[in-house]
Protein backbone atom coordinates (compact mmCIF):
# COMPACT_ATOMS: atom_id res chain seq x y z
CA UNK A 1 0.00 0.00 0.00
CA UNK A 2 1.22 3.48 -0.89
CA UNK A 3 0.73 6.25 1.67
CA UNK A 4 -1.19 9.33 0.62
CA UNK A 5 1.12 12.31 0.37
CA UNK A 6 -0.38 15.49 1.70
CA UNK A 7 1.23 18.57 0.23
CA UNK A 8 0.29 22.23 0.26
CA UNK A 9 1.02 22.11 -3.46
CA UNK A 10 -2.05 19.96 -3.99
CA UNK A 11 -5.03 22.27 -4.20
CA UNK A 12 -8.32 20.43 -4.07
CA UNK A 13 -11.79 21.62 -5.01
CA UNK A 14 -14.62 19.66 -3.39
CA UNK A 15 -18.02 19.76 -5.07
CA UNK A 16 -20.55 18.18 -2.72
CA UNK A 17 -18.52 18.99 0.41
CA UNK A 18 -21.70 19.44 2.45
CA UNK A 19 -23.03 16.02 1.46
CA UNK A 20 -22.66 12.68 3.19
CA UNK A 21 -19.45 11.60 1.44
CA UNK A 22 -18.13 15.16 1.08
CA UNK A 23 -18.21 15.98 4.81
CA UNK A 24 -16.22 12.84 5.56
CA UNK A 25 -13.64 13.80 2.94
CA UNK A 26 -13.31 17.22 4.57
CA UNK A 27 -12.81 15.50 7.92
CA UNK A 28 -10.05 13.27 6.53
CA UNK A 29 -8.09 15.86 4.55
CA UNK A 30 -5.63 17.12 7.16
CA UNK A 31 -5.78 20.83 8.00
CA UNK A 32 -2.47 22.27 6.81
CA UNK A 33 -1.73 19.20 4.70
CA UNK A 34 -3.47 20.22 1.51
CA UNK A 35 -5.30 23.33 0.41
CA UNK A 36 -9.01 22.61 0.33
CA UNK A 37 -11.67 24.72 -1.31
CA UNK A 38 -15.38 23.85 -1.29
CA UNK A 39 -17.85 24.95 -3.93
CA UNK A 40 -21.19 25.35 -2.16
CA UNK A 41 -24.50 26.87 -3.11
CA UNK A 42 -24.96 28.56 0.23
CA UNK A 43 -21.77 29.51 2.12
CA UNK A 44 -23.79 30.77 5.13
CA UNK A 45 -25.19 27.33 5.90
CA UNK A 46 -22.25 25.18 4.72
CA UNK A 47 -20.91 24.60 8.25
CA UNK A 48 -17.42 23.60 7.07
CA UNK A 49 -14.29 23.89 9.24
CA UNK A 50 -12.21 27.08 9.07
CA UNK A 51 -9.31 25.56 7.11
CA UNK A 52 -11.66 25.03 4.15
CA UNK A 53 -11.95 27.96 1.77
CA UNK A 54 -15.66 28.21 1.01
CA UNK A 55 -16.78 29.68 -2.34
CA UNK A 56 -20.23 30.12 -3.74
CA UNK A 57 -20.95 28.10 -6.87
CA UNK A 58 -23.69 26.08 -8.50
CA UNK A 59 -23.47 23.20 -10.96
CA UNK A 60 -26.54 24.55 -12.75
CA UNK A 61 -24.77 27.89 -13.42
CA UNK A 62 -21.51 27.01 -15.24
CA UNK A 63 -19.93 30.50 -14.97
CA UNK A 64 -19.87 30.14 -11.19
CA UNK A 65 -17.26 27.40 -11.59
CA UNK A 66 -14.64 29.73 -13.08
CA UNK A 67 -13.45 31.40 -9.90
CA UNK A 68 -13.80 28.21 -7.89
CA UNK A 69 -11.45 26.40 -10.31
CA UNK A 70 -8.69 29.01 -10.15
CA UNK A 71 -5.35 27.36 -9.17
CA UNK A 72 -6.98 24.00 -8.53
CA UNK A 73 -5.15 20.70 -9.21
CA UNK A 74 -7.72 18.08 -8.24
CA UNK A 75 -11.51 18.11 -8.20
CA UNK A 76 -13.83 15.83 -6.25
CA UNK A 77 -17.21 15.78 -7.99
CA UNK A 78 -20.62 14.70 -6.74
CA UNK A 79 -23.46 15.36 -9.17
CA UNK A 80 -26.99 15.40 -7.75
CA UNK A 81 -28.00 18.49 -9.78
CA UNK A 82 -30.18 18.26 -12.91
CA UNK A 83 -28.20 17.02 -15.94
CA UNK A 84 -28.59 20.04 -18.25
CA UNK A 85 -25.19 21.65 -17.52
CA UNK A 86 -22.95 18.57 -17.47
CA UNK A 87 -21.10 19.48 -20.67
CA UNK A 88 -20.20 23.12 -19.91
CA UNK A 89 -19.22 22.24 -16.35
CA UNK A 90 -16.94 19.39 -17.40
CA UNK A 91 -15.40 21.49 -20.15
CA UNK A 92 -14.49 24.12 -17.57
CA UNK A 93 -13.08 21.49 -15.25
CA UNK A 94 -11.01 19.92 -18.01
CA UNK A 95 -9.45 23.30 -18.84
CA UNK A 96 -8.36 24.01 -15.27
CA UNK A 97 -7.87 20.82 -13.26
CA UNK A 98 -5.29 18.07 -13.63
CA UNK A 99 -7.31 15.33 -11.95
CA UNK A 100 -11.02 14.58 -11.45
CA UNK A 101 -12.37 12.10 -8.90
CA UNK A 102 -16.04 11.40 -9.57
CA UNK A 103 -18.48 9.78 -7.12
CA UNK A 104 -20.42 7.46 -9.42
CA UNK A 105 -22.23 4.15 -8.84
CA UNK A 106 -21.62 0.43 -9.59
CA UNK A 107 -23.88 0.38 -12.66
CA UNK A 108 -21.35 -1.74 -14.60
CA UNK A 109 -21.20 -4.46 -11.94
CA UNK A 110 -22.81 -7.70 -13.09
CA UNK A 111 -25.00 -8.32 -10.07
CA UNK A 112 -28.81 -8.15 -10.37
CA UNK A 113 -29.00 -5.47 -7.66
CA UNK A 114 -26.97 -3.07 -9.82
CA UNK A 115 -28.50 -4.00 -13.17
CA UNK A 116 -32.07 -2.73 -12.77
CA UNK A 117 -33.50 0.19 -14.77
CA UNK A 118 -32.39 3.35 -13.06
CA UNK A 119 -32.44 6.95 -14.32
CA UNK A 120 -29.25 7.84 -12.43
CA UNK A 121 -27.06 5.29 -14.24
CA UNK A 122 -27.52 7.15 -17.54
CA UNK A 123 -26.39 10.40 -15.93
CA UNK A 124 -23.37 8.75 -14.33
CA UNK A 125 -22.44 7.05 -17.62
CA UNK A 126 -22.62 10.35 -19.50
CA UNK A 127 -20.51 12.21 -16.91
CA UNK A 128 -17.93 9.40 -17.01
CA UNK A 129 -17.86 9.42 -20.82
CA UNK A 130 -17.11 13.13 -20.84
CA UNK A 131 -14.48 12.89 -18.10
CA UNK A 132 -12.75 10.00 -19.91
CA UNK A 133 -12.65 12.09 -23.06
CA UNK A 134 -11.30 15.15 -21.27
CA UNK A 135 -7.64 14.17 -21.32
CA UNK A 136 -7.41 14.73 -17.54
CA UNK A 137 -6.46 12.11 -14.97
CA UNK A 138 -9.59 10.51 -13.57
CA UNK A 139 -10.78 8.06 -10.94
CA UNK A 140 -14.36 6.83 -10.56
CA UNK A 141 -15.66 5.72 -7.17
CA UNK A 142 -18.55 3.27 -7.34
CA UNK A 143 -19.99 2.77 -3.86
CA UNK A 144 -22.88 0.41 -3.24
CA UNK A 145 -25.56 1.29 -0.69
CA UNK A 146 -24.43 3.94 1.77
CA UNK A 147 -24.77 2.90 5.42
CA UNK A 148 -26.07 6.43 6.01
CA UNK A 149 -29.24 5.60 4.09
CA UNK A 150 -30.35 4.17 7.44
CA UNK A 151 -30.59 7.73 8.74
CA UNK A 152 -33.09 8.69 6.09
CA UNK A 153 -34.97 5.40 5.90
CA UNK A 154 -35.18 3.94 9.39
CA UNK A 155 -34.32 6.74 11.79
CA UNK A 156 -37.76 8.41 11.59
CA UNK A 157 -39.53 5.14 12.40
CA UNK A 158 -37.09 4.14 15.16
CA UNK A 159 -37.40 7.54 16.81
CA UNK A 160 -41.19 7.35 16.61
CA UNK A 161 -41.59 3.87 18.12
CA UNK A 162 -40.45 0.26 18.11
CA UNK A 163 -41.95 -0.77 14.76
CA UNK A 164 -39.99 -0.55 11.53
CA UNK A 165 -41.92 -1.36 8.38
CA UNK A 166 -39.88 -1.91 5.23
CA UNK A 167 -40.26 -3.81 1.95
CA UNK A 168 -38.09 -6.74 0.82
CA UNK A 169 -36.62 -7.34 4.26
CA UNK A 170 -34.81 -10.43 2.97
CA UNK A 171 -33.00 -8.44 0.29
CA UNK A 172 -29.27 -8.28 1.07
CA UNK A 173 -26.95 -5.33 0.51
CA UNK A 174 -23.40 -4.65 1.71
CA UNK A 175 -23.72 -1.16 3.20
CA UNK A 176 -20.59 0.92 3.02
CA UNK A 177 -19.59 3.44 5.66
CA UNK A 178 -19.23 6.93 4.16
CA UNK A 179 -15.93 7.27 6.03
CA UNK A 180 -14.55 4.43 3.89
CA UNK A 181 -15.76 6.05 0.65
CA UNK A 182 -14.01 9.20 1.85
CA UNK A 183 -10.81 7.34 2.73
CA UNK A 184 -10.57 6.04 -0.84
CA UNK A 185 -11.48 9.46 -2.26
CA UNK A 186 -8.71 11.12 -0.23
CA UNK A 187 -6.16 8.71 -1.66
CA UNK A 188 -7.40 9.19 -5.20
CA UNK A 189 -7.15 12.97 -4.68
CA UNK A 190 -3.76 13.00 -2.97
CA UNK A 191 -1.62 10.18 -4.32
CA UNK A 192 -0.55 8.92 -7.74
CA UNK A 193 -1.50 5.53 -9.08
CA UNK A 194 -5.28 5.94 -9.34
CA UNK A 195 -5.48 7.42 -12.83
CA UNK A 196 -7.89 5.54 -15.10
CA UNK A 197 -9.15 3.34 -12.23
CA UNK A 198 -12.69 2.70 -11.13
CA UNK A 199 -13.29 1.30 -7.68
CA UNK A 200 -16.39 -0.63 -6.66
CA UNK A 201 -16.66 0.04 -2.94
CA UNK A 202 -18.83 -1.99 -0.56
CA UNK A 203 -18.98 -2.81 3.11
CA UNK A 204 -17.43 -6.11 4.24
CA UNK A 205 -20.66 -8.08 4.80
CA UNK A 206 -23.74 -9.12 2.88
CA UNK A 207 -26.63 -8.33 5.25
CA UNK A 208 -30.36 -8.56 4.65
CA UNK A 209 -32.31 -5.40 5.35
CA UNK A 210 -33.87 -7.20 8.32
CA UNK A 211 -30.39 -7.95 9.71
CA UNK A 212 -29.37 -4.31 9.24
CA UNK A 213 -32.41 -3.01 11.16
CA UNK A 214 -31.81 -5.57 13.87
CA UNK A 215 -28.14 -4.48 14.17
CA UNK A 216 -29.35 -0.90 14.58
CA UNK A 217 -31.70 -2.06 17.34
CA UNK A 218 -28.76 -3.75 19.13
CA UNK A 219 -26.69 -0.56 18.83
CA UNK A 220 -29.36 1.55 20.52
CA UNK A 221 -30.30 -1.16 23.01
CA UNK A 222 -33.87 -1.62 21.82
CA UNK A 223 -35.77 -4.60 20.54
CA UNK A 224 -37.41 -3.43 17.32
CA UNK A 225 -40.43 -5.09 15.73
CA UNK A 226 -39.53 -5.45 12.08
CA UNK A 227 -42.55 -5.77 9.77
CA UNK A 228 -42.59 -6.64 6.08
CA UNK A 229 -44.19 -3.87 4.00
CA UNK A 230 -46.06 -5.58 1.13
CA UNK A 231 -44.35 -4.53 -2.14
CA UNK A 232 -47.70 -3.68 -3.78
CA UNK A 233 -48.43 -0.90 -1.27
CA UNK A 234 -44.79 0.11 -0.88
CA UNK A 235 -44.61 2.80 -3.59
CA UNK A 236 -47.12 4.89 -1.59
CA UNK A 237 -45.93 3.88 1.87
CA UNK A 238 -42.33 4.83 1.00
CA UNK A 239 -43.20 8.34 -0.19
CA UNK A 240 -42.28 9.98 3.15
CA UNK A 241 -38.75 8.59 2.74
CA UNK A 242 -37.89 9.39 -0.87
CA UNK A 243 -39.43 10.56 -4.16
CA UNK A 244 -41.54 8.12 -6.21
CA UNK A 245 -38.84 7.52 -8.85
CA UNK A 246 -36.30 6.55 -6.18
CA UNK A 247 -38.87 4.22 -4.55
CA UNK A 248 -39.48 2.54 -7.92
CA UNK A 249 -35.75 2.19 -8.53
CA UNK A 250 -35.04 0.73 -5.07
CA UNK A 251 -38.03 -1.63 -5.08
CA UNK A 252 -36.81 -3.07 -8.39
CA UNK A 253 -33.24 -3.41 -7.12
CA UNK A 254 -34.24 -5.04 -3.80
CA UNK A 255 -36.57 -7.48 -5.59
CA UNK A 256 -33.78 -8.44 -7.97
CA UNK A 257 -31.36 -8.88 -5.06
CA UNK A 258 -33.47 -11.55 -3.34
CA UNK A 259 -32.05 -15.05 -3.22
CA UNK A 260 -28.30 -14.38 -3.54
CA UNK A 261 -25.70 -12.65 -1.40
CA UNK A 262 -24.92 -8.98 -1.99
CA UNK A 263 -21.89 -8.10 -4.08
CA UNK A 264 -18.92 -7.59 -1.72
CA UNK A 265 -15.48 -6.23 -2.61
CA UNK A 266 -12.28 -5.81 -0.61
CA UNK A 267 -11.33 -2.63 -2.48
CA UNK A 268 -11.41 -0.37 0.58
CA UNK A 269 -8.82 -2.56 2.33
CA UNK A 270 -6.71 -2.84 -0.83
CA UNK A 271 -6.58 0.94 -1.31
CA UNK A 272 -6.38 2.13 2.29
CA UNK A 273 -4.72 -0.84 4.02
CA UNK A 274 -7.57 -0.90 6.55
CA UNK A 275 -10.61 -3.19 6.28
CA UNK A 276 -13.92 -1.53 5.47
CA UNK A 277 -15.97 -0.75 8.56
CA UNK A 278 -18.85 -3.09 9.37
CA UNK A 279 -22.46 -1.96 9.58
CA UNK A 280 -22.27 -2.80 13.28
CA UNK A 281 -19.46 -0.25 13.70
CA UNK A 282 -21.41 2.34 11.72
CA UNK A 283 -24.50 1.68 13.88
CA UNK A 284 -22.56 1.99 17.14
CA UNK A 285 -20.97 5.25 15.99
CA UNK A 286 -24.34 6.75 14.93
CA UNK A 287 -26.53 5.27 17.67
CA UNK A 288 -27.20 8.68 19.23
CA UNK A 289 -29.00 9.76 16.07
CA UNK A 290 -31.55 6.97 16.53
CA UNK A 291 -32.26 7.57 20.20
CA UNK A 292 -35.33 9.59 21.12
* Minimum distance of ligand NAP from residue 114's CB (angstroms): 9
Q: Among 36, 59, 90, 164, which residue sits at the site for ligand NAP (rule: CB under 6 A)?
A: 59
Would you count residue 203 as binding ligand NAP (CB under 6 A)? Answer: no
Q: Which is nearer to ligand NAP, 233 or 243 (CB)?
A: 243
Q: What is the DSSP string of 48-77?
A: --TTEEEEE--TTSGGGHHHHTTT--EEEE
Contact 30, 51 (CB under 8 A): no
Residues in Cβ contact with 95 at an 8 Å cutoff, skipping those fewer than 6 apart? 69
In three-state secondary structure terms, 173 is: strand
Applying CB under 6 A, among 5, 7, 60, 260 the residue interacting with ligand NAP is 60
Contact track, ligand NAP, 124-163, x by CB under 6 A: -------------------x-xx--x--------------
Site for ligand NAP in 65-124 (CB under 6 A): 78-81, 103, 105, 120
Smallest distance, Å, CB 123 to ligand NAP? 8
Give the nearest distance from C-beta 248 to ligand NAP in angstroms.
15
Cα–Cα dist 78/176, whole Å: 17
Q: 267: which residues sit within 8 A by CB, 6+ positions away?
A: 184, 199, 200, 201, 202
- The DSSP output letter for 100 is E
Query: Closest by alpha carbon to 176, among 116, 265, 87?
Result: 265
Residues 219, 181 contacting (CB under 8 angstroms): no
- How near is the Cβ of 9 to ligand NAP at its closest, in Å? 26
Among all residues, whose Cβ is closest to ligand NAP?
19
Contact set with ligand NAP (CB under 6 A) = 15-22, 40-42, 58-60, 78-81, 103, 105, 120, 143, 145-146, 149
Amino acid sequence: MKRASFTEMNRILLIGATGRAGREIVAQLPAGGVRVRALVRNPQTAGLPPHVEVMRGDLTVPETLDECLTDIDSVFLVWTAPPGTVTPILERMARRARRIVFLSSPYKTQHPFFQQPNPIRGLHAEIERQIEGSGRQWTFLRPGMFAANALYWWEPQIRAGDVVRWPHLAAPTAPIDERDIAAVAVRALCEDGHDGKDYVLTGPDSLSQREQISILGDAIGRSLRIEEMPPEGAPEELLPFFPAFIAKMLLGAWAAALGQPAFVTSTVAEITGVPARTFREWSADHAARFRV
